[in-house]
Amino acid sequence: MYEIGSLIIIGVLAQWIAWRLRVPAILPLILAGILIGPGWEWYSGHRLLNPRFDGESGTGLFPGNLLYSFVSLSIGLILFEGGLTLKLKEIRGMADSILRLTTYGAFTTTIIAGLAAHFIMGLSWQIAFLFSTLIVVTGPTVITPIMRQINVKRQVATVLKWESIIIDPVGAFLAVLFYNFIIAYYDPAATVYNSLIKFFQSGLVGIGLGFVLGHLLFILISRFYVPRFLLNIVTLGFVVAGFLISDTIAHESGLLTTVVMGAYLANREVPFIHDILDFKESLTLLLISLLFILLSANMTVDQILLVLNEQSLWVFLIVVFVARPLGVFWSLATSDLTWRDKAFISWVGPRGIVAAGVASLFGIQLAEQNVAYAEYITPLVFLIVLGTVLLNATLAGLIAHKLKVSLPKGSGVLIFGASEGSRQLAHSLVDSGREVVLVSANRAECDIAEENNLTAVQAQLDSDEIDSKLDFTDIGYILAMTGNDEDNFYLLNNYRGRKGIRGAYRLPSRKEIQVQRYSKEALFGHYVSYLLFNRAARNFGNVNAIELLKPEDLLSLLGRLREERAIPLYLRCTEHGDITFVTAREDRPLSVSAGDTLYYIGEPLTHLDERSARQVAREVEA
Residue 458: give its domain's CATH number. Answer: 3.40.50.720
In this prediction, residue 531 carries a pLDDT of: 82
Our count of domains for the chain comes to 3
Q: Give yes or no for a contact between 94 and 158, defined as CB atoms under 8 angstroms apart.
A: yes
Do both 313 and 390 map to the same domain? yes
Do both 416 and 338 map to the same domain? no
Choose the weakest-confidence range: 50-64, 153-167, 190-204, 596-610: 596-610
Higher per-residue confidence, 191 vs 17: 17
Q: Measure the CA–CA gap between 151 and 220, rounded to whole angstroms.
A: 38
Do both 446 and 329 map to the same domain? no
Do both 212 and 149 map to the same domain? yes
pLDDT digits (tens, 9 = 90+) for 531-588: 888 888 888 778 888 777 776 667 777 777 777 677 888 888 766 667 788 877 654 5
Do both 380 and 422 map to the same domain? no
Q: Flag whether 495 is in a domain.
A: yes
Do both 83 and 160 map to the same domain? yes
Q: Measure the CA–CA gap between 117 and 319, rounded to whole angstroms.
A: 10
Nearest one of 412, 442, 298, 309 to 359, comparing CA atoms: 298
In this prediction, residue 211 carries a pLDDT of: 93
In this prediction, residue 613 carries a pLDDT of: 40
Q: Measure the CA–CA gap between 583 and 525, rounded to whole angstroms.
A: 6
Q: Give yes or no for a contact between 258 and 239, defined as CB atoms under 8 angstroms apart.
A: yes
Q: Give yes or no for a contact between 112 and 366, defined as CB atoms under 8 angstroms apart.
A: no
pLDDT beyond 70 at 66: yes
Q: Any idea what the CATH number is for the domain that residue 545 is in?
A: 3.30.70
In this prediction, residue 128 carries a pLDDT of: 92
pLDDT beyond 70 at 295: yes
Q: Which of 201-205, 229-233, 504-508 has the highest mean pLDDT?
A: 229-233
pLDDT beyond 50 at 296: yes
In this prediction, residue 320 carries a pLDDT of: 92
pLDDT digits (tens, 9 = 90+) for 355-382: 888 888 788 778 878 888 888 988 999 8
pLDDT beyond 60 at 610: no
Which of 506, 534, 555 is the endpoint of a domain? 506
pLDDT beyond 70 at 621: no
Q: Flag whether 9 is in a domain.
A: no
Q: Flag whether 345 is in a domain.
A: yes
In sequence order, which residues have a C-beta less than 8 Å from that of residue 310 and are 6 or more positions away? none
Average pLDDT over residues 136-142: 78
Do both 608 and 490 map to the same domain? no
Do both 357 and 462 map to the same domain? no
Which of 437, 472, 506 is the endpoint of a domain? 506
pLDDT digits (tens, 9 = 90+) for 253-293: 888 899 889 889 988 888 877 788 778 878 888 888 888 88
Which of 363, 385, 402 is the endpoint of a domain? 402
Q: Measure the CA–CA gap between 579 and 573, rounded to whole angstroms.
A: 6
pLDDT digits (tens, 9 = 90+) for 482-538: 888 888 888 888 877 776 677 888 887 777 766 666 667 777 766 677 888 888 888
pLDDT beyond 80 at 461: no
Average pLDDT over residues 40-59: 76
Q: What Å distances lie between residue 518 and 137, 227, 585, CA to CA?
A: 55, 49, 6
Domain span at residue 76 reads 65-402
Choose the weakest-confidence range: 160-169, 200-209, 553-562: 553-562
What stretch of H or E contains 174? helix 154-186
Compute how many other C-beta atoms are within 10 angstroms of the C-beta atom of residue 94. 19
